[in-house]
Structure 1
């Protein structure tokens, strides 16, 4: 196409398509161009019926709708001989006479009538196009709304499933908590019963000492003392077994109103272990606050976990990443939670190892172990008597 031809290309104001031929009409009011389809004019009428004046005076549907309607209420009405109401200017001739007189009438009147009918048809066609377009838009929007409702339904179903799983996990956790409480209660009752038994035996020992004095009574007393010592060790072991899911954390910042669980979870995350709220039975600080004691060291944190394996993972990660720090930047220490007897024994063992230059001292499952050097014998210390036997120092 030549550059001159490109300049004559117009866009239809109805369908916005390019008009690449000369078959279009221009509105006499808004001067917008319309192709024959949007103008509602057939090709036969465009070439055979529309004159130059008709094309020059042609108006689009939008402009016609904006024109005010004429008031013809005062138009007189007359009655035909056949008692049919007719408007002024209507023909009084019979159909036969009308047919014979049509050739005598001017072609302009016929063209005006045909043009008016075409305009009405074009109005109907434009309305039909608008209705069709509205129907398509409405259908597409309805389909999009259905898709959104389907997606929302899927999300609600997924959320309902997650809530069901959370409820089941909560129920399982409640059952485990009840089991732990029952176990702890049973251990407490058993310890109380054993303590009562120890007291009774001690009373018996006192009576034997009083009655026997020396001689044969001394052997009985020694046997009873050994029995008492064994019972104390057994009770201590049972108490230690009840703490196999516990940890002691030292060095965590002790701020007033702080969230202990949050501090523990952050520390576990730094060690590479994910700790959720359902994994912790309790987490609390023990001892007097630093402000009351006048010291700067924070209180120890005691944590009981729901699973022993999780506690072992935290201990293993703490040993691998020695020197872990809390949120305040201070060094944090993570150890097994020991009974008071085992804690005192382990403290004395560490001090004696430093004095005698033994390289290794550690705890495993609440038991205290020592070893002088690599490849040397490992000793399990249960009491101060074992401490004196291994290090050659008197026990307390």
Structure 2
């Protein structure tokens, strides 16, 4: 862009006058020209007009006629004036719309960032509080275990230790309240886990967007068959998906229960279609307890052993109350009476 020869500021094409002599550009206002109308091609700036050699000839204009001569040089026809005014009005409208859009956009972004900042602050506070409580519980458990070698530990102390361990496990499970575990889903090298999770959600009829997923990753050891021309993953790892909301996780679990037997067909994943499973993500302790409970329930003929919101529940028959399993002692407490009853019935 060109700068004005008088004030040094940048010029626009609608507010510029070019000197026919020195070829410099000026604002119309800086050289005393009206804002509307055309400018004569032979117009000269005041500096060039001042340097014109003057004589006493009668045709030399006098100073009093300068304004009249300037008005004659400028075309002030109604057509040019109305066109310029329409252009200025349109420019002003566009600027007003852009300014309004900018203000609304900034306001929306600030509001979203404020909500995100508050959510992160609450999550950080909750994590710090949970970590402090877990650290305190671990210290108490360690202190009790250290006392075990010094003096005999009573059954009450053992019960307290089991209770503390259960409390720690429950706290760890709460941190997984929005997590899903997708197992036996075909895996490819270089895949995008978030995109895969969105495909799985659409497969079961739940609309999930990228912003609804906090993180998605494969966990566990990868087994690759290197004898093939292209490396092939022989055993898919678990796909762990952390969602932004618990209700969305519950919706996906419910949809997965309704669509039991679903496969990876139409997902664009490598290999033949395979049946995959969507479950809650459990802590290592709860996974082991769930496995033991299912084995005990299957051995004794219990019809229901399931997980709900991180809790392991068991029920022998429909209509009977459900029993919660939080530790190995609960497995003995829940299933041993049933095994004794079955053995007595076989002896009789």
**Structure 2 unmatched ranges of 5 or more:** 1-78, 227-231, 341-348
Seen in structure 2, the aligned counterparts of structure 1 residues 356 and 363 have a Cα distance that, compared at 3 Å, is same
Q: Which residue of 2 aligns with 1:388?
A: 332
Q: Which residue of 1 aligns with 2:162?
A: 229
**Pairing partner for 1:340 from 264, 278, 284:** 284
Q: Does 1:313 align with 2:257?
A: no
Report the structure number with the largest CA radius of gyration: 1
Q: Measure the CA separation in 1 of the matches of 2:300 and 2:218.
A: 34
User: TM (normalized to structure 1)?
Assistant: 0.54
Q: Measure the CA separation in 1 of the matches of 2:254 and 2:106.
A: 34
Q: Does 1:203 align with 2:146?
A: yes
Q: Does 1:177 align with 2:120?
A: yes
Q: Which residue of 1 aligns with 2:321?
A: 377
Maintained 8 Å contact 2:243/2:249: yes
- Per mean C-alpha deviation after superposition, the further-off stretch among 323-332 and 242-251 is 323-332
After superposition, the C-alpha distances for 1:18-60 in whole angstroms (9 at most, x for unaligned) are xxxxxxxxxxxxxxxxxxxxxxxxxxxxxxxxxxxxxxxxxxx
Q: Does 1:354 align with 2:298?
A: yes
Q: Give the deviation of 1:300 after TM superposition.
A: 0.8
Seen in structure 2, the aligned counterparts of structure 1 residues 208 and 270 have a Cα distance that, compared at 3 Å, is same
Q: Measure the CA separation in 1 of the matches of 2:95 and 2:274.
A: 48
**Pairing partner for 1:324 from 262, 277, 285:** 262
- Per mean C-alpha deviation after superposition, the further-off stretch among 272-281 and 235-244 is 272-281
SS of the aligned residue for 2:334 comes to helix
Maintained 8 Å contact 1:205/1:221: no
Seen in structure 2, the aligned counterparts of structure 1 residues 151 and 334 have a Cα distance that, compared at 3 Å, is farther
Q: Which residue of 2 aligns with 1:289?
A: 222
Q: Which residue of 2 aligns with 1:265?
A: 198
Q: Write out the 4+ residue segments of structure 1 that deviate beyond 6 Å after TM superposition.
A: 142-153, 292-295
Seen in structure 2, the aligned counterparts of structure 1 residues 162 and 300 have a Cα distance that, compared at 3 Å, is farther
Seen in structure 2, the aligned counterparts of structure 1 residues 315 and 156 have a Cα distance that, compared at 3 Å, is farther
Higher relative contact order (CA 8 A, sep 6+): 2
Q: Give the deviation of 1:232 after TM superposition.
A: 0.9
- Per mean C-alpha deviation after superposition, the further-off stretch among 162-171 and 199-208 is 162-171
Aligned pairs for 1:136-215 within 5 A: 161=104, 164-209=107-152
Aligned pairs for 1:88-167 within 5 A: 161=104, 164-167=107-110
Q: Measure the CA separation in 1 of the matches of 2:251 and 2:121.
A: 24
Q: Measure the CA separation in 2 of the matches of 1:151 and 1:267.
A: 45
Seen in structure 2, the aligned counterparts of structure 1 residues 196 and 352 have a Cα distance that, compared at 3 Å, is same
Q: Does 1:298 align with 2:236?
A: yes
Q: Measure the CA separation in 2 of the matches of 1:344 and 1:157.
A: 59
SS of the aligned residue for 1:208 comes to coil
Q: Measure the CA separation in 2 of the matches of 1:148 and 1:318.
A: 56
Maintained 8 Å contact 2:315/2:321: yes
User: TM (normalized to structure 2)?
Assistant: 0.61
